Amino acid sequence: MVKKSLCGLTADEIFDLIGPLNFTSSHAVSISNSIYKKRISNISEMVKIPYRLKEELFNIAATGIYLPLASEVSADKSVKYLFRTDNGKQFETVYIPDNKRNTICVSTQSGCRMGCSFCITGRYGFRGNLTAGDIVNQVLAIPQADKVTHVVFMGMGEPMDNLENVLKACSIITAEWGLAISSRNVTVSTVGLKPHVEQFLQRSDCNLTLSLYSPFSTERREIIPVENKYPVQDIIEMMKNFPLKKKRRLSLAYIMIKNLNDTDSHLEGLKSILKGSKIRVNLLSYHPGNNDKNCSSPAERMQFFKHNLIISGISASIRKSRGADISAACGLLAAGLKQ
């Protein structure tokens, strides 16, 4: 019999597992607390659980918590971790400490099938979806787990291409019986699979960020192939019109590449598509891969974009670049995996 992995189950699903054995919903919550709050990887060490329940659990379940296989520390103290699932899927996770804000960047797939031309993860190919348990485990299994304040779904993979597992992981991460991290501190990124973006907006309270690259469809199509099927203009319109709950944040990630997407006309294009919206713009440096002749826009140009967006009534910020020296920065994950 294949044992059920407890990490990745909701409290209700844990109750479905143990209810027929005459245990109660409060036992199910004790199990979820042991997994998600105390990060206990061995059933025998679980707390507030009767001995008979532990014995039954041994027969039908495993905690599903597994450790990273390797790690690499950046000069800026970011740490990249390599994980491998039971069935051999590899993926990376990055922990980014920053004063009181400690962010973990999780993967949702091993590789990716979106094929964005600037992204090394895309070049690694697609090896499969991660389960909700694989996603949540990344937050639980790193040594800094108790320090994590923010979770971003910006590692390997396109989260909207693995929507059900991502939605479930978000609910476990934010639930009181789960990791109890505020949905305001959880952000999922996408290149824009429109029908799934719409479902995500409706079925989750977590933040959403859309990777733009260019405000012009013809240009974006060359870099982000999904633009051919789901034009970003339509997605931005949908985001603009979506009734937002208080403090939920929708944003655009704009990676700035010198002389490619940082011209005055790009700035005007950005202003035009965002006019009248509350969508925030995060400007990011570009990290070239090997043999890449492109380079990031200089800091002054990024400041120029930020200033002009702000005085046009669009909220904008420049995101600090972290972990580039260990290939942990945006678009570089998978650089350390076997191609």
User: Which amino acids are annotated catalytic?
Assistant: 92, 330
First to last CA, the chain: 34
For the bound state, the minimum distance from the C-beta of residue 166 to ligand SF4, rounded and expressed in Å, comes to: 13
Q: Among 11-19, 113-121, 165-173, 306-314, which window interacts with ligand SF4 (CB under 6 A)?
A: 113-121
Cα–chain center distance at 98: 18
For the bound state, the minimum distance from the C-beta of residue 29 to ligand SF4, rounded and expressed in Å, comes to: 35
Element spanning 171, H or E: helix 163-174
For the bound state, the minimum distance from the C-beta of residue 226 to ligand SF4, rounded and expressed in Å, comes to: 8
Residues numbered 312 to 331 that lie near ligand SF4 (CB under 6 A) are: 331
| CA gap 52, 122 in Å, rounded | 48
How does DSSP assign 281-308, residue by residue? Answer: EEEEE----TT----BPPHHHHHHHHHH
119 touches ligand SF4 (CB under 6 A): yes
| CA gap 295, 315 in Å, rounded | 25
186 touches ligand SF4 (CB under 6 A): no
From residue 148 to residue 167, what is the string marking binding to ligand SF4 with x (rule CB under 6 A)?
---------xx---------
Which residue, 31 or 256, is less far from ligand SF4 as judged by CB? 256
210 touches ligand SF4 (CB under 6 A): no
Task: Figure out which of the listed residues 34, 103, 121, 214 binds ligand SF4, where binding follows CB under 6 A.
Answer: 121
| E strands in the chain | 4-5, 61-62, 70-73, 79-84, 90-98, 101-105, 109-111, 126-129, 150-153, 186-190, 207-211, 250-256, 280-285, 316-318
Task: Figure out which of the listed residues 7, 57, 65, 116 binds ligand SF4, where binding follows CB under 6 A.
Answer: 116
| CA gap 165, 162 in Å, rounded | 6
284 touches ligand SF4 (CB under 6 A): no
Biggest CA–CA distance in the chain, Å, is 69
User: What are residue 280's phi and psi, to 5 degrees?
Assistant: -95, 150
The site that binds ligand SF4 (CB under 6 A) totals a number of residues, namely 11
How does DSSP assign 225-237, residue by residue? Answer: GGGGTS-HHHHHH
112 touches ligand SF4 (CB under 6 A): yes
Q: Among 6-14, 44-52, 118-126, 167-175, which window interacts with ligand SF4 (CB under 6 A)?
A: 118-126
191 touches ligand SF4 (CB under 6 A): yes
Q: Would you tell me which residues interact with ligand SF4 (CB under 6 A)? A: 112, 114-116, 119, 121-122, 157-158, 191, 331
